Amino acid sequence: MKERIAEAASARSLPLPGGCSYTRHGEPMARFSPPNAVRSSTPKTRSAPKDATASVQDYLAAIYDLQSSGKPVIGARLAKHMAISAPAVTEAIQRLSRAGYVRVGRGKELTLTPRGRQIAEVMARRHRLLERWLTDTLGLNWTDAHEEAHRLEHALSPRVEDRLAELLGMPSTCPHGNPIPGMAKPTRVEPFPLAQAREGATVVVERITEEAEADKKLLEHLWKNDVRPGRRLKITEVAPWAGTITAARDGQTITLGLPAAAKIWVYLPKP
């Protein structure tokens, strides 16, 4: 384990307070200290506790992202999402639990404590605002925007965050359609995973989940095929035996595996 951590750290790690090394996707968390004080858990503060290292922030943000799908978050799913080994994630979960950031319930399901959720919402807000700025203002595609936002989110101050939100016109979602904490809620719809759409139905893309964003190849595939929030898709074939679903838009078709389609949320347009 020590050899793997050292090898990962030397490859692409960043120095953090307390001797931590981190990355959101790829390397394990080294160590962190529990918080010394409890702060009010409200997105309005837009300031994560200073003793919550970038590594802690990444784990909490990942749990927060996975919870948005409505499925239970367990260690194996977290490890896959973050591309980190299962033993490293197990160790991290134990430390997050001792620090008071997460609870481990029945079936080893992970939930955020109020303290953990506060930090996760701060990071989600910063990440999604940055993605919006990088795409709308700088013209990056959303694959590059996702990666660059992760590089910048830990350094964003509350002052710059506020100014950025004002500059962007207080957007309610990121470019992928995920809601930005602390902003006005998007128009209420009844979304469901694209994988559950029926053959012959017309659906509208609501959002590309953070879980899908973590899959660079999938994100690039969706970008190239113009599968984005607000786009209408006609479901032309559902093939459970093949594990695929095919949709058409503007005379072009796109076929996705059902696991990938489950990471894209859609809704039925009003008649």
pLDDT digits 0-9 by tens, 112-135: 999 999 999 999 999 999 999 999
Contact between 53 and 20 under an 8 Å Cβ cutoff? The reply is yes
> How much of the chain is helix, strand and coil, in % rounded to 5?
45, 15, 40
Contact between 173 and 128 under an 8 Å Cβ cutoff? The reply is yes
Q: What is the C-alpha to C-alpha distance for residues 51 and 40, in angstroms, rounded to an integer?
A: 15
Count the neighbouring beta carbons within 10 Å of the beta carbon of residue 271.
3
Q: Does residue 30 register a pLDDT over 80?
A: no
SS3 255: strand
Domain segments of the chain: what residues?
A: 2-119, 192-267
Topology of domain 2-119, per CATH? Answer: Arc Repressor Mutant, subunit A (1.10.10)
* pLDDT value, residue 71: 85
Q: Does residue 16 register a pLDDT over 70?
A: no
Residue 58's closest CA among 98, 100, 97, 29? Answer: 29
Are the folds of 2-119 and 192-267 the same?
Answer: no
Class of the CATH domain delimited by 192-267: mainly beta
* pLDDT value, residue 50: 62
